[in-house]
Amino acid sequence: MKEWKLHAVIAELNLKETDVFADVGGYRGDVTAIVRKLFDCTCYIYEPYPEFYEQCRKRFENDPKVTAFNYGLGNGNRQQKLYYHADGTSLYDEGSVGVEVEIRDAKEVLKDFQAIKLNCEGAEYEILESIRDSLAPQMLIQFHKHGGDKNEAVGILKKTHTMVWPKARKRWELWRQ
């Protein structure tokens, strides 16, 4: 996705400087960089793949409002193999290169956020299951074909949130309370 398109998606979040944003599946930190530029709020990045975590850590090492964590989120605590592909990683789609990573229970980590972005190549389903009773007021999600049942995930969201716009924004969906 070109940055200007991603910028337009992120710009639709309702955040202010005192809010806290979670970037789950931080990749190289592009979403966090846009959130920082637009809203100047505190951001937490969760990226389990060591190379991408290190890129995020270095990118924001001089920004006191950004903290990167080298673990992924899911429904329960465990170690699991994460597979690398040309432009990303996944717990669910085996590739040629895998690395053992730490996964922490999302409900123990994702507390008191104004907005949570989930782009985690299938793990969004188990994360939503874990935080079903404590969703952030704004949930920005990119659903993937593997890892879970989208109808079940949407059912969780519909209990407390309304879809602001569907996948028309390059596979992104924004849900608000």
The model's pTM is 0.93
Tell me the pLDDT of the chain averaged across its residues.
Answer: 91
Quick: pLDDT tens for 31-76: 999 999 999 999 999 999 999 999 999 999 999 999 999 999 999 9
Distance CA 38, CA 34 (A): 6
| CATH architecture of the domain covering 3-75+106-176 | 3-Layer(aba) Sandwich (3.40)
Q: Specify the pLDDT at position 85.
A: 73
| Three-state SS annotation for 84-137 | EECCEEECCCCCCEEEEEEEEEHHHHCCCCCEEEECCCCCHHHHHHHCCCCCCC
160-163 long-range contacts, Cβ below 8 Å, gap at least 24?
160/135, 161/135
Q: Among 32-36, 92-96, 129-133, which stretch is predicted with the lowest mean pLDDT? A: 92-96
Q: How many CB atoms lie within 10 A of CB 117?
A: 30
Calculate mean pLDDT across residues 129-151: 94
- Provide the 8-state DSSP code for 28: T
Return the residue matching tokens 């699991």: 80
Distance CA 42, CA 15 (A): 10
Is 152's pLDDT higher than 60?
yes
Measured CA angle at 125 (ends 112, 39), to 5 deg: 40
